[in-house]
Amino acid sequence: MIESYLPVLVFIVLAMGIGVVPLLAGFVLAPRRPDQDKLSPYECGFEAFEDSRMQFDVRYYLVAILFIIFDLEIAFLFPWAIVLDEIGLFGFGAMAVFIGILLIGFLYEWKKGALEWE
Amino acid sequence: MSELIELAWIVAKIVALVVPLFVAVAYMTYAERKVISAMQLRRGPNRVGWHGLLQPIADALKLLMKEVVLPSNANRFLFVLAPMLAIMPALAAWAVLPLGEGIVIADINAGLLYVLAMTSMGVYGIILAGWASNSKYALLGAMRAGAQVVSYEIAMGFALVGVLMAAGSLNMSEIVHAQAGPIWNWFWLPLLPLFVVYWISGVAETNRLPFDVAEGESEIVAGFHVEYSGMAFAIFFLAEYANMILISGLAAVMFLGGWYSPFHGLPVLGPMFDWVPGIIWFCLKICLFLFLYIWFRATFPRYRYDQIMRLGWKVLIPVTVVWLIVVSGMVLTEFGPWF
């Protein structure tokens, strides 16, 4: 079955090439007249007064963590969903316990306000 | 030698898919401007060529002739890499989408998982673009876009689990086969809440209105791609529209019966439409979803960021979890004509 993935690999390489070719064409065909003002960061006409790699809101970090947890849950749900009609009621019950535990965590973060963006 | 021929055949198939896809992307921008114009009682582009039909080509040529500015503080390598990372997954995901009975480039078993992996890759392009530009607006836009895309991916993933339960396979062709029959046999009906959730998350995943805070022109200029110009900008633009077509294609495959005609298997109407090739039905379904995209853009005001996050986490995820339980009940009791 592994050889059926060959077209996928070829496609990924070609898709990357499709990104490279227009960009190269742009660099070749377009003018290049850089000057200091053109290359400075765009901040609505003002000079940038500090580096832009500054502090950022911790909530973005929180969302990223929640994403990892829930994506993992989806990874567990995929195989279960495919064979659900074979594993029957017992499989359903086992997954219900798993989702129940996860939902308790979800409720906890909901009540804690981790999902609030005032 | 035979391997070489095989490889050439694969490349030929990919080219045969990508060229029409690029034409579709170009004319999607034209259709978008035309349809929004019609909704706002004006004409839209109508000067370049017959009814403005050459407008996308003129736009592409103009962008090709514009300077690609590399900002002085940017990380050059990542800055150039970001647009490639944005367009690669939008195109490569098409490898597993069946366009008709047996018309698929790679009929792999883990098709849906591959699609999910590819759509997740798109966020790398956005984050890298925003970070590498070294501009405050770009960084802020990238953060917003990253958090938004990642949040809606959860809801989308849950909606796809419902499709998996109904179809019993990750293979995209099998998913379509599981929906064989007239329009009420397709998964949109038993999975209606998941279909709605999938579509809303799809619109949010592609950063389209009403969820386009990531590039909200009036708030943070253009978001993660402020510093991009010329062809580098054009690649982001292409990627966005290719992603829209991809999300529409996935919706058609997973909820609207892929290449099946809406009258498939009916006594009189079915044979009447048998001569229409499946790929036509598939394209029509994609067009329906693309029209919805444009319609949303023309009619809805932009959501606020906190509203977007609330919708993603507090509305869509609970809805999907409840409906997953309902669907598993339906699967276990072999309810209706579907499972």
Average pLDDT over residues B292-301: 91
CB within 8 Å of B288: residues ≥ 6 apart: B248
Q: Is the pTM of this model over 0.90?
A: yes
Q: Is A114 exposed, middle or buried (0-12, 13-18, 19+ CB in 10 A)?
A: middle
B49-86 residue pLDDT tens: 888 899 999 998 998 888 887 877 777 888 888 888 88
Do the domain assignments include residue A40? yes
Write out the residue range of the structural domain in which residue B220 sits.
Answer: 74-333
pLDDT tops 90 at residue B249? yes
Do the domain assignments include residue B198? yes
Is ipTM > 0.95 here? Answer: no
Considering the domain architecture, whether residues B268 and B310 belong to the same structural domain is answered as yes
Do the domain assignments include residue B338? no
Question: Which residues of chain A have a CB within 8 Å of the CB of B153?
Answer: 67, 71
In angstroms, the separation between the Cα of residue A29 and the nearest Cα of chain B is 6
DSSP state of B302: P
Question: Which residues of chain B have a CB within 8 Å of the CB of A1?
Answer: 108-109
Question: Which residues of chain A have a CB within 8 Å of the CB of B94?
Answer: 11
Contact B221 A42 (CB under 8 A): yes
Query: How many domains does the structure of chain B reveal?
Result: 2
Do the domain assignments include residue A26? yes
Considering the domain architecture, whether residues B159 and B96 belong to the same structural domain is answered as yes
In angstroms, the separation between the Cα of residue A55 and the nearest Cα of chain B is 11
A18-52 residue pLDDT tens: 889 988 888 888 888 878 777 777 777 677 667 76
Considering the domain architecture, whether residues B42 and B92 belong to the same structural domain is answered as no
Q: State the CATH number of the domain containing residue A78.
A: 1.20.58.1610
Considering the domain architecture, whether residues B55 and B141 belong to the same structural domain is answered as no
CB within 8 Å of B133: residues ≥ 6 apart: A41, B71, B74, B79, B139, B224, B226, B227, B228
Q: What is the pLDDT of residue B216?
A: 67
Do the domain assignments include residue A96? yes
> Which residue of chain B has the CA closest to A41?
B135
Do the domain assignments include residue B12? yes
Do the domain assignments include residue A118? no
CB within 8 Å of B229: residues ≥ 6 apart: B66, B67, B68, B69
Q: What is the pLDDT of residue B36?
A: 94
Query: How many domains does the structure of chain A reveal?
Result: 1
Query: B139 near B78, Cβ under 8 Å?
Result: no
Considering the domain architecture, whether residues B54 and B178 belong to the same structural domain is answered as no
Considering the domain architecture, whether residues B135 and B264 belong to the same structural domain is answered as yes
Considering the domain architecture, whether residues B182 and B205 belong to the same structural domain is answered as yes
B94-147 residue pLDDT tens: 989 998 888 888 888 888 999 988 888 888 888 888 888 877 788 888 888 888
Considering the domain architecture, whether residues B149 and B248 belong to the same structural domain is answered as yes
Average pLDDT over residues B16-43: 93
Kindly indicate the confidence band of residue B218, based on its pLDDT and cuts at 50, 70 and 90.
Answer: low
Q: Which of B71, B150, B165 lies closest to A63 in CB terms?
A: B150
Considering the domain architecture, whether residues B8 and B95 belong to the same structural domain is answered as no
Contact A63 B147 (CB under 8 A): yes
Last residue in a domain, options B65, B100, B119: B65
Query: B264 near B182, Cβ under 8 Å?
Result: yes
Write out the residue range of the structural domain in which residue A82 sits.
Answer: 2-112
- State the CB neighbour count (10 A cutoff) for residue B195: 22
Query: B108 near B96, Cβ under 8 Å?
Result: yes
Contact A118 B137 (CB under 8 A): no
Question: Which residues of chain B have a CB within 8 Å of the CB of A52?
Answer: 73, 134-136, 138-139
> Which residue of chain A has the CA closest to B16?
A11
Q: Which of B11, B57, B153, B161 to mutate to test the interface with A (most CBs of A within 10 A)?
A: B161
Percent helix, strand, coil in chain B (nearest 5)?
Answer: 70, 0, 30
Considering the domain architecture, whether residues B55 and B124 belong to the same structural domain is answered as no
Considering the domain architecture, whether residues B170 and B267 belong to the same structural domain is answered as yes
Considering the domain architecture, whether residues B224 and B133 belong to the same structural domain is answered as yes
Do the domain assignments include residue A117? no
Contact B10 A10 (CB under 8 A): yes
